[in-house]
């Protein structure tokens, strides 16, 4: 059973945002599986870094979308992205320095964060675009 189980209730209705979210689920699950399997730093390091890179790009894409539609809750939503980014960057630094061991507490945290953020913040954003008849511009050109 993957730690982050994707289902249709996570669909916001924005195809590219949804595609990126699904990929994030897949990456959190890979990280989780690697931790459970007791993989070493040579596997966990790149897995974690890829997840962080993809997440940051996804956040940028969503923020671009928010800016393009003058989304009223942009600042609050962006702050949540920034808080998570800061936390993950700090964690990667500690991990690379050998000051921290990755455990399923991390993958569970990321899974929870992602699932709640999608259902609360991202769903609200896409709903807003629909309710205001805004065309949610494509983001992230095919990512
Ligand atoms: Fe998102
Ligand atoms: Fe978001």
Task: Give yes or no for residue 135 having a pLDDT over 80.
Answer: no
pLDDT number for residue 79: 98
Residue 98 Cα to ligand 2 midpoint, Å, equals: 30
Q: What is the dihedral of CA 94, 96, 98, 100, to 10 degrees?
A: 40
pLDDT number for residue 138: 57
Ligand with smallest separation from the Cα of 121: 2
Phi, psi of 2 (to 5 degrees): -65, 155
Digit-coded pLDDT (tens) for 84-133: 999 999 999 999 999 999 999 999 999 999 999 999 999 999 999 988 88
All structural domains of the chain? 14-131 (1.20.120.50)
Of 29, 20, 51, 23, the closest CA to residue 122 belongs to 20
- Rounded to two decimals, the pTM is 0.92
Is the Cα torsion angle 37, 87, 53, 124 positive or negative in sign?
positive
């Amino acid at each position: 059973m993957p730690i982050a189980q994707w289902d249709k209730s996570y669909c916001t209705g924005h195809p590219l945002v949804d595609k990126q979210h699904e990929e994030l689920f897949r990456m959190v699950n890979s990280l989780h599986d690697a931790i459970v399997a007791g993989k070493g730093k040579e596997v966990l390091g790149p897995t974690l870094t890829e997840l962080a890179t993809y997440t940051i790009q996804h956040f940028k894409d969503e923020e671009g979308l928010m800016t393009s539609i003058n989304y009223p809750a942009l600042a609050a939503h962006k702050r949540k992205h920034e808080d998570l980014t800061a936390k993950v960057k700090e964690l990667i630094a500690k991990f690379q320095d050998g000051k921290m061991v990755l455990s399923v507490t991390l993958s569970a945290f990321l899974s929870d964060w992602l699932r709640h953020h999608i259902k609360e913040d991202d769903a609200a954003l896409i709903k807003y675009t629909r309710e205001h008849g805004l065309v949610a511009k494509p983001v992230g050109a095919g990512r």
